[in-house]
């Protein structure tokens, strides 16, 4: 009888997977990690990529995530997946835009949204391209 660990994969907008698996392979910050049952407490950030679960000898499942967090307790693995694409520039642009909107509503004058908006769109496009690229590489292997 092989050992299994309880795995939960959730995102802010839905529950993706909940069940037992023999092994979890995830794209962690310093490269891929394989988590087996009774792993020491471990916490890391995840890159965009595929999370693969070895359910048993015959079955394997994989989920694509765009990033998130991985928490490991000896009998429990939790993946907190991001629904939103994240990057420093992108968050910065969103914050800037939100601030400008507040100023705009307060002053009620025409403010210049264009710069923040363009920056956000550019950052998003770049991130998407990168995510697609990575996913292609992973699926090819």
Partner 1 sequence: MASGKEIRTKIASIKSTQKITRAMEMVAASKMRRAQDRMRKSRPYAEKMHQVIGHLAHAHPEYKHQYMQTREVKRIGVIIVSSDRGLCGGLNTNLFKMSISAMQSWLDNSIEIDMCTIGNKATGFFKRFSGNIVATPKNLGDSPSLEDLIGSVKVMLDAYEDGKIDQLFIIYNHFVNTMTQGITKRQLLPITADEEDKNLTHHWDYIYEPEAQEVLDGLLKRYIESLVYQSVVENIACEQAARMVAMKSASDNAGDIIDELQLAYNKARQAAITQELSEIVAGAAAV
Distance CA 103, CA 58 (A): 58
**Residue of 57, 58, 105, 114 that binds partner 1 (CB under 8 A):** 105
Is 128 a binding residue for partner 1 by CB under 8 A? The answer is no
- Contact predicate 68/29, CB 8 Å: no
Size of site (CB under 8 A) for partner 1? 41
33-59: b (≥16 Cβ within 10 Å) or e = bebbbebeeeebebbbbbbbbbeeeee
Site string (14-43) toward partner 1, x via CB under 8 A: xx--x---------xxx---------xxxx
- For partner 1, which is the closer residue by CB, 56 or 128? 128
Closest CA to 60 of 15, 22, 17: 22
Is 10 a binding residue for partner 1 by CB under 8 A? The answer is yes
**Residue of 3, 102, 118, 132 that binds partner 1 (CB under 8 A):** 102
């Amino acid at each position: 009888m092989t050992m299994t660990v309880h795995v939960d994969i959730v995102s802010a907008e839905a529950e993706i997977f909940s069940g037992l698996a023999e092994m979890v392979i995830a794209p962690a910050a310093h490269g891929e990690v394989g988590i087996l049952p009774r792993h020491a407490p471990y916490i890391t950030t995840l890159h965009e990529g595929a999370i693969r679960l070895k359910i048993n000898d015959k079955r394997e499942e994989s989920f694509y995530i765009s990033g998130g967090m991985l928490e490991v307790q000896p009998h429990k693995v939790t993946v907190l997946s991001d629904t939103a694409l994240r990057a420093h520039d992108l968050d910065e642009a969103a914050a800037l835009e939100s601030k400008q909107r507040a100023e705009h509503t307060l002053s009620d004058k025409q403010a210049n949204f264009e710069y923040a908006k363009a920056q956000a769109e550019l950052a998003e496009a770049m991130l998407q391209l990168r995510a697609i690229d990575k996913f292609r590489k992973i699926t090819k292997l």
